Amino acid sequence: MRKRGDAWELRAFAGRDPVSGRKIYRTRTYRGGKREAEDALSRLVQEVSGGGRAARDATVCVLVREWLELAKADLSPSTVRGYENCIKRYIQPTIGDIPLERLRVAQLDRLYAQLRTDSGPTGRPLATATIRQVHAVLRRALQQGVKWGWIDSNPAVLASPPRVRNRPIEAPEPTVVSRLIEEAGDDNPDMAAFLQLAATTGARRGELCGLHWDAVDFEQGTVTIARSIVEDSEGHHVEKDTKTHSVRRVALDRTSIEALRMHRDRCRDRSEACGVSLADDAFVFSKAPDSSMPWPPNDVTHQSSS
Nearest to 136 by CA among 117, 118, 162: 162
In a domain, 228, yes or no: yes
For the four alpha carbons of 290, 291, 296 and 301, in that order, the dihedral sign comes to: positive
Looking at the structure, tell me whether residues 287 and 187 fall in a common domain: yes
Looking at the structure, tell me whether residues 291 and 224 fall in a common domain: yes
8 Å CB contact between 56 and 150: yes
8 Å CB contact between 31 and 6: yes
Looking at the structure, tell me whether residues 20 and 133 fall in a common domain: no
Nearest to 87 by CA among 129, 140, 137, 154: 137
Looking at the structure, tell me whether residues 29 and 101 fall in a common domain: no
Nearest to 193 by CA among 267, 109, 119, 142: 267
Domain that holds residue 154: 56-163
In a domain, 168, yes or no: no
> Strand, helix or coil at 299?
helix
Looking at the structure, tell me whether residues 180 and 258 fall in a common domain: yes
Looking at the structure, tell me whether residues 108 and 185 fall in a common domain: no
CATH number at residue 179: 1.10.443.10
8 Å CB contact between 280 and 213: yes
Looking at the structure, tell me whether residues 3 and 83 fall in a common domain: no
**pLDDT tens digits for the chain (306 residues)?**
888 888 889 888 776 666 676 777 788 888 888 888 888 887 777 766 655 555 656 899 999 998 998 888 788 888 888 999 999 999 999 999 999 989 999 999 999 999 998 777 778 899 999 999 999 999 999 998 888 878 889 999 999 999 887 778 788 888 998 998 998 888 899 999 999 999 999 999 999 999 999 999 999 999 999 988 887 766 778 788 777 778 899 999 999 999 999 999 999 999 999 999 999 999 999 999 999 999 988 888 777 655
Looking at the structure, tell me whether residues 182 and 301 fall in a common domain: yes
What is the C-alpha separation between 95 and 108, in angstroms, rounded? 8
Looking at the structure, tell me whether residues 12 and 115 fall in a common domain: no
CATH number at residue 73: 1.10.150.130
